[in-house]
Structure 1
Amino acid sequence: MRNAVLLPNDLVLTTDNSAAIGEKEADVVQVSDEVVAYFAGRVALMEQWAAGAYPVSIVIHNFSGNKSWNKYVAGMEKLFGEINQPCPEITGSTESNMETLQSAMAVTMIGERQVTSAENYTWYVYGMPCVGEEVMTESEKTANMKKISDGVNSGFVQRVWPVGSTGIAGECKRLGLHCELSNWDTGKSAGPATSVLLGIANNRIEEAKLHFGTYFEEIN
């Protein structure tokens, strides 16, 4: 598992947060609250996949005020709609007593671990590292959730390992992989998991290359 907590009864807890990104005037990055929730949920969902689990419940922690709640919920619904899956039940709370100058929220997912047997696979990186404004302006370079979900459901994606602030090189080190990639900034933060490491079944690599297309390269 990556940044996930294994609970009793094969339940898995994952979480991600966001601060100073949203619709408030003092936010460092100005973007809709729906988009903020989408990307926070994206990270938590990929962490579930990394642990071999799928979420059954979502908790939203909203410090941005009442007007942001429905937008955060809409971001979650957009995420699951993108992968053609029903959105799990959403609960949570809102800080409505104190007004904050900057936006802040967190998403926690509780999932059920699924028993799967991994075949022989080769690690690839999919999606370029992007952070801050780049996440929006260079979105065509980032890992596509629908493609990852389809790959998992089709069976040629055997492992999912989202890239965080330590960059591709940092995640490769955690996995014990020697990282050599041409034309990739392997030390750059991938922000909300715009890059992801994928374990591709060895007998379906050509299929995966056609499926993922650009910004998909083997980790040597």
Structure 2
Amino acid sequence: MRNAIKIDRDTIITIDNSGCIGEKEHDCVKVPNELAAYYSARVSILEQWCAGAQPTHLFLANFTSEDAWADYQKGFAKAFEEIGEKMPPLNGSTESNFTSMQSGLSLTVVGKKAFEINEENCDWFIVGRPLVGEEVVMNPADVAKLNELILLIKIGIIKHVWPVGSKGIKAECKKIFKNNEIECALPLEKSGGPSTCVIVAVDREQLGQFFDTITAPIEKLIIK
């Protein structure tokens, strides 16, 4: 697992935070609240998949405003619509005593184990490119697609998926491959933002279907 927490045999908890991204005057990245929520849900879903789980419940901590709640809910629903799943029940709380200068949300996802992780007889690739801030909005074709990933997970072609976060590809690879060195054509230390790229282990015998299905850029990850 990456940053997920295993509560019991089958229960997995993941969380993602989004700050200073939204519609407020002092936000650092100006995007619709719905889009900020979509990418937050995206990260949390990928974290669940990384642990071999599927989301069952969502909990939102909304620091933006009461009006933002509906937009956030739409953004979460869009992520689940993309993977062909009904959005799990959403609960949570809104800070209504004070008005914040910038947008902020925290999404906690509860999930249940749904599939096994097996990296044997696999080659490793990066799907998508590391993007952050305005780059995410300007380069949608370079973002790994959730629907393509989950399709290949369900039919056993992708055996493991590992989202890339703010510390970049190199930092994530250290968690997976320990002291092994890696090579990749992508910038290894650049932030992956809202996990616009993911590390995947692909069954060597099914590489053809992997390349036929994925529409985002693919780069080979060489493990030394």
Q: TM-score, normalised by structure 1?
A: 0.96
Among 196, 199, 215, the residue aligned to 2:198: 196
Long gaps (5+) in structure 2: none
1:124-159 Cα shifts (integer Å, max 9, x gaps):
110000000001001111111111111112210110
- Distance of 1:81 and 1:115 partners within structure 2: 20
Give 2:19's aligned residue. 19
For 1:191 and 1:216, locate their aligned partners in 2 and report how far apart those are by CA, in whole Å: 17
Match of 1:30 in 2: 30
**What runs of 5+ residues in structure 1 fail to find an aligned partner?**
none
Q: How far, CA to CA, are the matches of 2:3 and 2:56 in structure 1?
A: 18
Match of 2:187 in 1: 185
CA contact (8 A) 2:17 2:40 kept: yes
For 2:141, the equivalent position in structure 1 comes to 140
Summarize deviations over 1:13-43 as a string: whole Å, max 9, x none. Answer: 0000011110111111110110011001100
**TM-score, reference length from structure 2:** 0.94
Shift of 1:110: 0.2
**Would the aligned equivalents of 2:143 and 2:216 in 1 still touch at CA under 8 Å?**
no
Q: Which residue of 2 aligns with 1:102?
A: 102
Q: 1:180 to 1:112 in 2, by over 3 A?
A: same
Q: How many angstroms does 1:9 deviate by?
A: 4.1
* Counterpart amino acid of residue 161 in structure 2: V
Q: How far off is 1:214 after superposition? A: 4.7
- Specify the SS of the correspondent of 2:45: helix
Is the contact between residue 52 and residue 117 of structure 2 (CA under 8 Å) also seen in structure 1? no
Q: In structure 2, what is the equivalent of residue 50 of structure 1?
A: 50
State the 1:190 CA deviation: 0.4
Aligned mates of 2:83, 2:65 — CA distance in 1 = 29
Write out per-residue CA displacement over residues 87-141 of structure 1, whole angstroms, 9 at most, x where no aligned residue. 1111111111111110000111000113526252121110000000001001111
Contact residue 20 and residue 26 of structure 1 kept, 8 A: yes
Q: What's the CA shift string for 1:45-95, capped at 9, x where partnerless?
A: 000000011110000110001000000000010000011111111111111
Conserved? CA contact 1:57–1:89, under 8 Å: yes
Would you say the 8 A contact 1:178–1:219 is kept in 2?
A: no
